[in-house]
């Protein structure tokens, strides 16, 4: 059970890092005028928040 949680934690952390990289690219594209869909920034931020919430729920279950 504990190994499964650690694997899920790793996957979630990797996804967060990937989304942060995307967010950085989106902001560069926005300032250079190349980003057509500015809503992608908002979507990426929401996905990061959702993943961080999942991560905190996993950690909270371990500490309870």
Give the tens place of pLDDT for each residue, 2-61: 666 677 889 999 999 999 999 999 999 999 999 999 999 999 999 999 999 999 888 876
Q: What is the pTM for the complete model shown?
A: 0.82
Q: Are 19 and 42 in contact (CB under 8 A)?
A: no
Name the region of 37 (left: φ>0; alpha: ψ -120 to 50; beta: rest): beta
Q: Which residues constitute the domain of residue 21?
A: 2-63
Q: How many domains does the chain have?
A: 1
The CA distance from 46 to 35, in Å, is 18
């Amino acid at each position: 059970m504990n190994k499964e949680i650690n694997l899920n934690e790793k996957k979630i952390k990797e996804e967060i890092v990937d989304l942060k990289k995307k967010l950085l690219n989106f902001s560069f594209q926005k300032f250079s005028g190349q980003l057509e869909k500015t809503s992608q920034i908002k979507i990426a931020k929401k996905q990061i928040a959702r993943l961080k919430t999942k991560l905190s729920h996993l950690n909270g279950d371990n500490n309870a």
